[in-house]
Every structure is written in C-alpha cells, then in structure tokens.
Structure 1
Amino acid sequence: MDPEKSRVEMADDVKQHSFSVDGDNGAERLARKILWKLDTRILPVLALLFLCSFLDRTNVGNAKILGLEEDLDITNHQYDIGLAIFYLFYILSEVPSNLIIKKASPKIWLPALTAVWGIITMCLGFVRNFGSFAAVRALLGIAEGGLLPGMVLYLSSFYRRGDLALRIGLFYTAASLSGAFGGLLARGLAEIGPRGGLEGWRWIMIIEGILTFLCGCLSFFTLPNSIETTPFLTEEERRFARERIQMENPHIQGLAAEEESLAWSEVRRGLLEPQMWFSATAYFAILSGLYSFGLFLPTIIDESGFADDANQTQLWTVIPYAVAAVLTVFVSFLSDRVKLRGVIMLFSLPLAISGYAAIGNITSPQAKYGMTFLMATGMYASVPCILVWNSNNSAGHYKRATTSGMQLAIANCGGFVATFIYPNKDKPQFHRGHTVVMGLLIFAWFMILLNVLYCAKVNRDKRNGKYAKYEGYNDDRDPKFMMVL
C-alpha cells in the first residue's frame, strides 16, 4: 500500500475521534489545562537552558572589558578569530544534531549538550594563550550548536502551530534576560578576583560553567520525552493533547511516529524549500546584528562615555535587555493571536533599523544609550516569529528538522559578521559597524516581505487547485495545509 495513503487512512481515524472530543463542552477547558501544565513544566526549563546558552556564548564580551586580551596576550584580531571559530563549529553541528535528536531522545540529548558545554565553559577560565582560547571556543560551538534548533523541534511536538510563537517567545526572552542577568552576574563575579591566582574574568567563566552544568543535570529529571510519555499529564490529557496535534497535521504526528525512519525525501524537500531560504537569509541578517549587539554592547557603552568605569558599564547593559524581554513577549503573544509571523516582523524590525541609523551618527552619550533600547527591542522581538515560521510551514518530522536546522545554520553565519565589524580602531563612534548592521536589517526586512508574498502565492495556488494532486498527503503540500504569513 502507498505509505502516504496509509497515513491518510490513519489520519482519518484520528480525526473522527478527535472531532468527537473537540465537540465536548469541556474540550476547551481541558485544552487550557493541558497547555498550562506544559507551559509551567517545560518552558521554564528550556528558558533556563537557553539563558545558560547565551550567558556562556556572550560572557566573553564581559570578560574582554575586564582584561581578557591583556591577560592572554592576544590582539584584538586574535580575539575576533576566537569568536569566529566558535560560530564555525556551532553552525556545522546544527543540522546533524537535529537529525539525530529523535533517535538519541530529547530528554537525554538536550540536557547532555548543556552539561557538556558547561564543562567546556569552565575550561575557558583556565586558558593561557590564543591557541587554547581558540580550541576551547571551538569545542563550545560544537556543544552549543544543537540546542536552539533542538528546542524548536522539541516544542513543535507538544504545541499546535497557533500556540508556538508565544511559547518560543517566552523562552527566547531568556536570551534578552541573559544580557541583563549576565551584566549583573559579571559585575558580581568580577569582585571575586584576582583570587587563587586567577583574574576576575576567569571566575566569570568558571562559576557560570558550573551553574550551566548543574542546570543541564537538573533538566534531565524534569523534561518529558514526548506527549505520550509526559508524566505530569493524565492518560486522558495525553490522548487529547496528542490528538489535537494530529488533527492539525496527522503526517508529522501520526500514530506510528515513533517508528518513522529517517526520510531522505523529506530532507531533500527541506533543503529545496524557497520559504526556508527567504527566512534563513533574513534571520542571518538579524542574528548578525543581535550577536554583535550582545558581544559589543559593553564596549559601545564604555566608549560612548556614558559610564564612568567598567563595573558601571556592566550595570548599564542590564536595562535595554530587560525592556527587550517585555516587548518580545508582547509581540509573540500578538503573533499567535493574529496568526501572523512575517507581517508582524515587517513592523518590529524598523525599530532596530532606526536605532542603528541614529547611533552611528550622533555623539551624545545619553542619546546613544537611548538608541540601544530601539536596537535591542527591534531585533529580539522579531526572533520568535522568524524562529517558528519555518516550523509552522513545514510538515514531516525530518523536513521540519532539516528546515529548522538549516535556517539556524545559515542564520548563525551572522556570527562571523558580528565578530569583525566592531574593531577597536573604530572607537568611539563605530560608524562602520552600525552602518553594516543597519544595511543587513534593511535586507532582512525585504527578505521577510518576499517570504510573505511567496507564502501568500502558495496559499492562493492551493485555493485555485494547483496543488490538487497532493490532496490527502497531509504534509505541507496538501491543499488543506495553508501557509502562515
């Protein structure tokens, strides 16, 4: 029998049962109860892991202004190379990690990645020269690369398409909060050293690494592996939650999903998907700005003259991240409510564009600091929408894994851009760096617009019968599967 048709027959059985459940007056109440349990058990753990990820990725920026370059006797160019090496190995690990996470088990894979990079972060506190700095940064990239694409894929197995942006937005606020928390933590940990023969910046790496390792171990005992094995849901709740997802897209959550083998046809379709390339290149431009912002915000504030010393600089980095976190949650909520992704970003990105357009051309320290709020909010608020967009518009586990992984692999090439556009010689105005990021964000805006137009065309073609031959396949080619704009 045609495997696609067998899935359709299986899906029909699911739908018949699911519609009877949804017709129950208590169905909506049961759905809210299940979502509340998932939100309170899963999202805080993922937010904690993601916070650790951003802390361990960007703490080198805090260490730089506390004397990392001088203590390691490295040049600013060598420092930039060390940052770029991290992103190279980070990118190379994303797609492979997403393709094996299902076999390795998310409950084991995500905590294991976190614990390993926690150990590697501790090692950064003991490097003595450029060679060891670069080597440890490479290992850190390998360990961290699988986390974000893995978490997006993991969440898509628990939530329906219309529930996903807010949830990703909630855990992604950990990224912006990590900037705030990281500045406070760096300020406190710097006071430890020099002690035990170690400078203050080394203690930042060591203690943050220990905290990350402990968080990874804790997450193993709290993350469920799948809807079917979620211990905090009753049998009725597990069945209802599974059927809600199956009813929306049976192909990716069929009753035999656990036995699904690696489908190279889905991988190939994912690699050739136009909307993946539009969103990936847009995300590349956004991450170029977001990474440069995270790595160089302390330097930008320090050089603007707004802060009196390095310790005060750490504290002033907190507020833009905190404001960005609030707006990120609001935009994510709005995106889910109106069921739009790209359209929302067409309005949020101009905030960052205007911030970068201004900061490179003004000299007032107060005005420069004010622009960092626009830069942070415009970029961070756009990320949950673009992260969930590919997952919303891809069906089939391995196609979804491929598009999510490839999108992030391409996007994280922005790390290479971020590490080289703010050289010390451009102090204090950093006009070139700000102009480059502004240009990239304008490019991202147009890529998002093209993707919205492309998805709208696909939906129009489906309504006009051009995808009729795929009817009943229950993947993203099915005429009933409408693209999210």
Structure 2
Amino acid sequence: MSPTKIHSEVPSSMASSKSAQVEYIEKENTPEGSPARLRHGQAVQQLDEAAESRLRRKIDLHIVPTVAILYLFCFIDRTNIGNARLSGLEKDLGLKGYDYNTVLSVFYVSYIIFEIPSNMACKVIGPGWYLPAVSLGFGVTTVAFAFVRDINAACGVRFLLGALEAGVLPGVAYYMSRWYRRGELVFRLCLYIVMGPFAGAFGGVLASAILSLDHFGGTRSWEMIFAIEGIITVGLSCIAFFTLTDRPETARWLSPEEKQFATQRILSERVGSTELLDKLDVPKTLRGIFNPVGLTTAVVLLLINITVQGLAFFLPTIVRTIFPDRSVVTQQLLTVPPYTFGSFVVLTICWFSWKLDRRNYFMTLGSSIVIPGYIIFLATTNSMARYIATFLVAAGSFSFGALTQAQSAANVVSDTARSAAIGTTVMFGNIGGLISTWSFLPADGPNYPVGNGLNLATNSTIVLTTLLLGWWMRMDNKKRDRQSAAGHQALQEASERQIHDLDWRHPDFRWKD
C-alpha cells in the first residue's frame, strides 16, 4: 500500500472554487484508509494505521536520539553549577549570602528575554541548523565558566548561557511538531525531556567521576566539571549539524512517497490549513501567543517549574542537609536515585498520555504525586522520610515539560502559531525557573520550610487550575458544536488568507485536553 500522493498547492483548474481552500488529494491515488478531507480541512477518516506506524518508527529512530542527547547536555550545562557548589565553587569565587542565588537568577533573566524571539528565529532559519548552532554556543560558554574568578564574570557567563539555551527547549518541541501528530507528540517530547531528570542522575555520576581526577589541563576541582562537560557538548553539537534533518521534505532517509505521506498525516488534522510550513505571519503569531488554553498551560508550567528547577539546582544541597556526615562524592551519588526513579515514572505517564490522547488529566495527576512529598518535608525532619520525599517530587514534576508543550502545540493549527505558542509556554515556565532560584535561601536552611511551603502551594494551585481548564475546554467545545453551522456560513465570504489566520477560531476547531 503506497502513501497518498498530496500536492502542496491547489490545481489551477480548482483555484476559483471555494472548495479548493483545502489541501488537494488525488483521489485516484488515495489508498484505502487515507483521510478524505472536508472543505475547510477537517479529516473525516483515519490514515492507514499500518503504513503510519512504519513511518512513525522510522521518524523516531532518526529524530529522537539526536535531540535527546542535545537536551541531555543542555540540561547538564545548566544545572552542573549545583554539583560545582558542593565542590567549593562558592569559596573560590568569594560568594556570600545570596550571591549564589543571584548567579542562578541571571541565567533566567536572559532565558526569559530571548525565549519567544529565539523560537521565531528557529522557524525562520530552520531547526536543522539553528539547534546545533545554539548547542555549540552554550557548549563553548560552559567551558568558559571554568575560568571565571569572581561573581561579575560568573553572572556575565551565566547570562550568555541563558540567552543561548533559551532556544533549545521550545525549539526542539517546535521541531518535533513538524514530524508528529498532536496525539503522538507528548510521548516523543517526553523521550527527550526525560533527559532532564536523567541529566540530574547522570550529572551526579559524571561530576563524581570528574572530581576523582587530579586535574584536567589547567583546571582543578569544580572547574573540571564545566571544562569537560562543555567540551562534550561542543563535540555533540558539531555532529548534530550532519544528523539533524530540518523537515520531512529534506530528509534523505525518506523515500519521495514517505515524504509525501509524512506531510499528509500532519496536515490531515490541521483544520483550515493548506500548508505544512507557512511563512511568518503576525495574526497567526498573535493567535499562538494569546491562545487561552496555551496561556493557562503556560501558567501551569510557570508554577511547576518552581519545583522542577528548584529540585535541579538545590537537590545536591538538600541531600547534603539530609546526610551531612557523608562525603562529597557520596552526596553527589545520592542525588542519582530520585532522578532515576523520576525518569521511569515520567516515561510511564507520557506513554499513557499518548495512548489516551490526554494531557490535562496527567498534569492533575503529576501535581497530586508531588503534594505528599512537600507535606513530608514540612511535617518531619526524619532523614529517610525526607529522602523518600525527593522521589515523589521528581516522579510527579518532570512530566510537565512534555505535557505542557504538547498541550500548547495541540491547541493551535498553523506552524507559525505553534512556534509562538510553544515559545510563550516555555517563556512562562522560565519565569517559574527564575522564582525557583530564590525558593531555597540560606537563611531558610537546613529544613527550608518557606521553600517547601511555596512548592506545596504551587502544586495545589496546579491541581485546581488543570481541573478548571479541563471543564472550560469541554464547555467551549459544546458551545462550538452549537455554533458550527453559523460559523461555516460566515466562511463562505472569507478569503483563503482570512481562513488561515483564524487558526483556533476556525469553526471546525475543537480543544484537545
């Protein structure tokens, strides 16, 4: 069974007809099981599942490994400062009081500023070139941190690191949305975002191994962590220039028929859209930024990132307060099990999210797992109980990166709106990251009741917010069902450009929770 032949433009003979405002599929070449499309782009049949499954596996093998490895070292380069802190960074740089928190905060200032512009640049330049380029940049910047000698230099390098890393998380999510349908996207996002908790585990092991060396070139102690991990990132980013494929049409590992099929299956669920990659467009950009579901989801990511990034930056410190008598290397290694456990739970949650094509429900579940962890932190000083609490926090919180970006991507139509929506979501998330840098203050130690109370409050708010969002989406879909006929009548006088710019306001569009 060969994939459906699909054209990116409507034949000239049909150009004057309103029915030509959708992607044209040659009926004589349409295989059984391919989607027939309504006038405004809504699929009424499913694609052939066997052919789609084969294509999806092929895409998985070529796309996921590269972006996963890049994000692994992106996360390590961002959070290895927590490991370096245990190894004398504060003493060597003369950091006192809140200086460490200031150095962490500077990273998020640039991260937030450059988030949306970076994702727009990723769309214009193409992720196949843009993602390896920024990865190369933050690898070099990580190496540079090994040679800072005071707080001013540390803040300058961390600001540059934030500007470069700003494009990675939303850029990869946007890139993968070019290849996967919205129901499939969450698990594929998970396969690279799980590198976050894995990076926490692997970073602890790697830091322990590096610290066992006497020196690396002219670097010693914590300096070696940045030098060695930065060099690894530089090497991987250079390889990515050759392995990262920009879009289906440029994939040398797909046959012409597979390229057409890859494009067709994405377009089959984009209501009112006639092109896979549109030009940058202001109305659609604004549709992505001000999408009500996307904005609410962005607030959810803001709240959960206080937990996620707080855990990433302060878990080594928290472990040190729980096990103060252990050696530095042992304390580093004790950060590994919570992250490892969290990685398995994240994969499980996102797999069920993919199979059930639901995201909002699993966000509610995630925060429900986190809440008992912070209750334990607040209720007891027992070392083993508090260590178990770190497992609950890691298990419930790390799935949100995939769930929130997939939900924002699923609730817009065009490529431009998707790029803007994902960038907005991650920008809000990093505001949460900025807050997290001040959630565990020295004066609050060793048990950090203020930081733990803050995280308990944010996760409780997430549970309430996601429940209300799910209810609103169901109610608004029912409203759209009632108004569908009137909406289609209004489209009779609309131009193709006006229909495209409707995006999620199109009468055939329905929210996906």
Show the counterpart of 1:120.
Answer: 141
Letter in 1 for 2:471: L
> Do the aligned partners of residues 160 and 108 (structure 1) sit closer, same or farther apart at CA in structure 2, a change above 3 Å counting?
same
Partner SS, residue 177 of structure 1: helix
Matches within 5 A, 1:271-420: 271-305=289-323, 308-420=326-438
**8 Å contact from structure 2 (residues 364, 462) kept in 1:** no
Deviation at 1:261, TM superposition (A): 2.7
Q: Name stretches of at least 5 consecutive residues in structure 2 with no aligned partner.
A: 1-9, 36-45, 492-498
> Do the aligned partners of residues 419 and 118 (structure 1) sit closer, same or farther apart at CA in structure 2, a change above 3 Å counting?
same
Matches within 5 A, 1:104-143: 104-143=125-164
Rounded to whole Å, the distance in 2 between the matches of 1:316 and 1:18 is 59
Rounded to whole Å, the distance in 2 between the matches of 1:17 and 1:422 is 64
In the alignment, does 2:214 pair up with 1:186?
A: no
Match of 2:187 among 166, 180, 199: 166
**8 Å contact from structure 2 (residues 323, 331) kept in 1:** no
More displaced, 398-407 or 53-62? 398-407
Show the counterpart of 2:269.
Answer: 248
> Do the aligned partners of residues 196 and 151 (structure 1) sit closer, same or farther apart at CA in structure 2, a change above 3 Å counting?
closer
Letter in 2 for 1:13: Y
Deviation at 1:187, TM superposition (A): 0.4
Partner SS, residue 24 of structure 2: helix
Q: For each residue in 1:385-424, what CA deviation from the matched residue of structure 2 results, as whole angstroms up to 9, or x when unmatched?
A: 1121010001112211111111111110112211112122
Deviation at 1:450, TM superposition (A): 2.4
Rounded to whole Å, the distance in 2 between the matches of 1:427 and 1:357 is 17
Q: For each residue in 1:90-129, what CA deviation from the matched residue of structure 2 results, as whole angstroms up to 9, or x when unmatched?
A: 1111101111212212111000010010000000000000
Match of 1:438 among 456, 459, 474: 456
Show the counterpart of 1:224.
Answer: 245
Rounded to whole Å, the distance in 1 between the matches of 2:174 and 2:244 is 14
Partner SS, residue 13 of structure 1: coil
Rounded to whole Å, the distance in 2 between the matches of 1:188 and 1:76 is 29
Deviation at 1:270, TM superposition (A): 2.4
Rounded to whole Å, the distance in 1 between the matches of 2:429 and 2:468 is 17
Letter in 2 for 1:292: G
**8 Å contact from structure 1 (residues 65, 310) kept in 2:** yes
Deviation at 1:19, TM superposition (A): 5.6
Deviation at 1:266, TM superposition (A): 1.1
Rounded to whole Å, the distance in 2 between the matches of 1:67 and 1:18 is 67
Rounded to whole Å, the distance in 1 between the matches of 2:287 and 2:67 is 29
Rounded to whole Å, the distance in 2 between the matches of 1:291 and 1:5 is 54
**8 Å contact from structure 2 (residues 294, 421) kept in 1:** yes
Percent identity over the alignment is 29
Match of 1:477 among 479, 494, 505: 505
> Do the aligned partners of residues 380 and 470 (structure 1) sit closer, same or farther apart at CA in structure 2, a change above 3 Å counting?
farther
Rounded to whole Å, the distance in 2 between the matches of 1:371 and 1:409 is 28
Superposed CA RMSD: 2.3
Rounded to whole Å, the distance in 1 between the matches of 2:16 and 2:448 is 59
Match of 1:452 among 465, 470, 479: 470
Q: For each residue in 1:357-381, what CA deviation from the matched residue of structure 2 results, as whole angstroms up to 9, or x when unmatched?
A: 1112211111111110000001012
TM-score normalised over the length of structure 1: 0.94
Rounded to whole Å, the distance in 2 between the matches of 1:298 and 1:82 is 17
More displaced, 464-473 or 111-120? 464-473
**8 Å contact from structure 1 (residues 183, 317) kept in 2:** yes
**8 Å contact from structure 1 (residues 122, 208) kept in 2:** yes
> Do the aligned partners of residues 145 and 7 (structure 1) sit closer, same or farther apart at CA in structure 2, a change above 3 Å counting?
farther
In the alignment, does 2:28 pair up with 1:13?
A: no
More displaced, 401-410 or 474-483? 474-483
Partner SS, residue 424 of structure 2: helix
Match of 1:177 among 194, 198, 217: 198
Partner SS, residue 285 of structure 1: helix
Match of 1:154 among 171, 175, 184: 175
Higher helix content, 1 or 2: 1
Matches within 5 A, 1:86-97: 86-97=107-118
Matches within 5 A, 1:40-51: 40-51=61-72
> Do the aligned partners of residues 339 and 135 (structure 1) sit closer, same or farther apart at CA in structure 2, a change above 3 Å counting?
same
Letter in 2 for 1:22: G
Rounded to whole Å, the distance in 2 between the matches of 1:16 and 1:77 is 67
More displaced, 321-330 or 116-125? 321-330
> Do the aligned partners of residues 243 and 13 (structure 1) sit closer, same or farther apart at CA in structure 2, a change above 3 Å counting?
same
Rounded to whole Å, the distance in 1 between the matches of 2:419 and 2:326 is 47
Show the counterpart of 2:33.
Answer: 22
Rounded to whole Å, the distance in 1 between the matches of 2:370 and 2:22 is 44
Rounded to whole Å, the distance in 1 between the matches of 2:187 and 2:279 is 31
Match of 1:214 among 230, 235, 242: 235
Letter in 2 for 1:9: A
Rounded to whole Å, the distance in 2 between the matches of 1:15 and 1:83 is 56
TM-score normalised over the length of structure 2: 0.89
